């Protein structure tokens, strides 16, 4: 009997080894979220901005030319994390732009609720390490921070953004920059720059657990290119003179490049946004200043790409790259708001930042690109962040590293941010829940896995007759097949419904409501059903996101500070606030 034992042991080892080799190793997953990047801000989508590392992911993977998110950051991030509509996962609107009438209503807490299970929770429970660095903006109370939403290690910015060079807020919306590490208030290092730090933390977390062989999920929420637009001087100067021809010329050049790349149909129309200024009407000083703003923006984008390249190089050096799935996207379209145009914010900025030409992009300086450049960043689409035009909702999506996928190609099928969670669970071999998770009822995911499309098995993600609704701050849309029903609030829209075929007309030039009256009416009924099922609340009359942001700042920062310092001042502020509301409603005829 004794001589047989070594043979049995050897046979057992061989069987175990064969089993190990027969079972594919589960991939790592890296999600890269850019902030406020327009549709054509990536080189692989038509940009002149140098993004070689992201472009490499595109060549090694797939570009999705018809990918849709929401028109603002945290609602998109909530769906990216859960696969659940934002009105059902708690983020029906951002806290900073939510009207008082919606506060506390179901779906409008402004933070992820407990009924939506995150991708991090599902992957962690299946044996993945889970990390996040950078922007979170899905809650800042202990129960809503990443450690309670499935992340083992985290270093996050809990607000809508902050300065990229220092630990301080970027607007009077906050009294401080809310950074947390593993759920505990944290501080930034002295030599801080946002994109560099976010990648540093991701690599640090990955390395801490690398020896145990478990796969990891790493989510990097970049602040580029959210305001304030800031970047290293050498990166900015690389673009000196590049934008001297202005925003209209850039918008056209990017549209032509997108056609050449095959991202949009040849001959696609393109509107001129009403908020786009006449470049030729600017004097020489104005042109130089405006061009510099866009140079800073380009430098910020390239710096983010450089840091992504550093992460990629690290994964290659440690042998992890070839088994890593990458997802790159932007959380919404380009940012049109110039904070200096908002009276209360301008006053704060004048006290805390400079906007001198020779300092733009540097520490202590503040700039944005404004609506004219934002229109170019969104080229060839109409609209931008905060509104329901394609320029606000359609952003670049790149996926690479999925085993057996067909690479270096463009998928033109309509795709939605809620498709990302089912896709990542699919590639990780984790069954997607169907509304029950670990014995309790939860919100069901509504997206579809993109894996069949990635592998070339099918060319469509959603059935032609599937209606996919959208609403944020009163601007709304309904997608069905190749068609889009859409209305946007003023000043970008006229608050009326329009109908477009966004497969052939992504620029939303040709309104089809007269040619297709039955479809126009039917899709309005589909939208009404979306509102009913998801508890979408109507916006109060006269709502404006910039005005609402000022009210938020007064309520959460200005008044508390004044109340502590001089109670009499509070009465003055309240009177002014009441006057603002009265004047605005009178102006709108409410």
Please, how many CA atoms are within 13 Å of residue 108, restricted to the half-sphere of its CB? 21
Q: How many residues does the chain have?
A: 590
CB burial of residue 388 (10 Å; 0-12, 13-18, 19+):
buried
Cis status of the peptide bond prior to 21, with omega within 30 of 0: no
The CATH number assigned to the domain with range 24-454 reads 3.40.720.10
| Closest alpha carbon to 276 in 334, 237, 224 | 334
Over residues 489-529, the pLDDT tens digits come to 888 889 999 999 999 999 999 999 999 999 999 999 999 99
Confidence of residue 546 (pLDDT cuts 50, 70, 90): confident
Given 3.90.650.10, 3.30.1120.10, 3.40.50.2300, 3.90.550.10, which CATH number is that of 467-534? 3.30.1120.10
The DSSP 8-state label assigned to residue 431 in this structure reads P
Tokens, residue 454: 């990635």
pLDDT, tens digit (0-9, with 9 covering 90-100), for 344-360: 899 999 999 999 999 99
pLDDT higher than 90, residue 566: no
Helices 545-553 and 343-352: crossing angle, nearest 10°?
A: 50
Give the model's pLDDT for residue 493: 87
Q: Among residues of the chain, what percentage have pLDDT more than 90?
A: 85
**Section 245-254 average pLDDT:** 98
Provide the whole-model pTM.
0.91
Categorize the per-residue pLDDT at 586 as very low, low, confident or very high, splitting at 50, 70 and 90. low
Residue 25 confidence (pLDDT) above 90: no
Res. 245: pLDDT tops 70? yes
Q: Between these two residues, 449 and 552, which has the higher pLDDT value?
A: 449
Tokens of 495: 């608050």
pLDDT (0 to 100) of residue 389:
97
Dig out the tokens for 585 from the structure: 């409603």
Per-domain residue ranges for the chain?
A: 24-454, 467-534, 545-588
Res. 24 pLDDT band, cuts 50 70 90: low
- Look at residue 343 and tell me whether its pLDDT is greater than 90: no
> Looking at the predicted structure, is the pLDDT value of residue 573 above 70?
no
Catalytic residues: 73, 137
Looking at residues 182-194, what average pLDDT do you find?
A: 97
Going 421 to 427 to 428 to 430, the CA torsion angle's sign is positive
State mean pLDDT over 472-477: 96
DSSP 195-213: HHHHHHHHHHHHHHTGGG-
* pLDDT > 60? residue 14: no
What pLDDT score was predicted for residue 2?
37
pLDDT at 576: 63
The answer to which of 17-21, 107-111, 484-488 has the lowest mean pLDDT is 17-21
């Amino acid at each position: 009997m004794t001589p047989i034992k070594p043979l049995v042991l050897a046979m057992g080892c061989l069987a175990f080894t064969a089993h190990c080799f027969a079972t594919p190793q589960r991939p790592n997953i890296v999600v890269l979220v850019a902030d406020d990047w327009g549709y054509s801000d990536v080189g692989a989508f038509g940009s002149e901005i140098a993004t070689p590392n992201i472009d490499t992911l595109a060549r090694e993977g797939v570009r999705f030319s018809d990918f849709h998110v929401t028109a603002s950051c945290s609602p998109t991030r909530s769906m990216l994390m859960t696969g659940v509509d934002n009105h059902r996962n708690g983020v029906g609107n951002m806290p900073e732009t939510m009207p008082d009438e919606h506060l506390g209503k179901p779906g409008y807490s402004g933070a992820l609720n407990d009924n939506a299970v995150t991708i991090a929770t599902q992957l962690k429970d299946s044996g993945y390490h889970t990390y996040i660095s950078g922007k979170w903006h899905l809650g800042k109370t202990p129960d809503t921070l990443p450690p309670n939403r499935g992340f083992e290690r985290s270093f996050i910015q809990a607000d809508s953004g902050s300065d990229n060079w220092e630990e301080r807020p970027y607007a009077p919306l906050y009294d401080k920059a809310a950074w947390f590490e593993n759920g505990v208030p944290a501080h930034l290092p002295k030599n801080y720059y946002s994109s560099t730090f976010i990648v540093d933390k991701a690599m640090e977390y990955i390395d801490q657990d690398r020896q145990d062989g478990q796969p990891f999920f790493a989510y990097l929420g970049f602040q580029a290119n959210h305001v304030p637009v800031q970047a290293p001087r050498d990166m900015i100067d690389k673009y000196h003179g590049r934008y001297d021809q202005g925003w209209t010329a850039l918008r056209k050049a990017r549209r032509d490049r997108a056609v050449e790349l095959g991202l949009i149909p040849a001959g696609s129309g393109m509107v001129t946004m009403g908020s786009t200024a006449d470049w030729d009407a600017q004097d020489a000083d104005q042109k130089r200043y405006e061009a510099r703003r866009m140079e800073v923006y380009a430098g910020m984008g390239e710096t983010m790409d450089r840091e992504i390249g550093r992460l990629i190089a690290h994964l290659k050096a440690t042998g992890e790259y070839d088994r890593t799935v990458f997802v790159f996207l932007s959380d919404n379209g380009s940012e049109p708001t110039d904070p200096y145009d908002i009276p209360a914010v301008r006053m704060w900025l004048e006290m805390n930042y400079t906007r001198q030409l020779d300092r733009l992009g540097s520490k202590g300086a503040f700039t944005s690109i404004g609506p004219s450049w934002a229109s170019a960043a969104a080229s060839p689409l109409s609209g931008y962040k905060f509104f329901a035009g394609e320029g606000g909702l359609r952003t670049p999506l790149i996926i690479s590293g999925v085993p057996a996928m067909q690479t270096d190609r463009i998928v033109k099928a309509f795709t939605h941010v809620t498709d990302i969670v089912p896709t990542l669970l699919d590639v990780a071999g984790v069954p997607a829940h169907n509304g029950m998770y670990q014995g309790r009822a939860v919100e069901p995911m509504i997206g579809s896995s993109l894996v069949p499309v990635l592998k070339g098995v099918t060319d469509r993600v959603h059935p032609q007759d599937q209606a996919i609704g959208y609403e944020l701050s009163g601007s709304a849309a309904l997608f069905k097949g190749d068609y889009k029903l859409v209305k946007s609030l003023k000043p970008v829209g006229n608050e009326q419904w329009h109908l477009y075929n966004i497969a052939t007309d992504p620029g939303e030039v040709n309104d089809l409501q007269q040619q297709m009256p039955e479809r126009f009416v039917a899709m309005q009924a589909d939208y009404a059903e979306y509102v009913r099922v998801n508890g979408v609340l109507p916006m109060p009359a006269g709502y404006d996101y910039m005005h609402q942001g000022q009210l938020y700042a007064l309520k959460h920062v200005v008044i508390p500070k004044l109340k502590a310092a001089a109670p009499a001042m509070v009465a003055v502020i309240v009177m002014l606030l009441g006057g603002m509301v009265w004047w605005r409603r009178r102006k709108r005829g409410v």
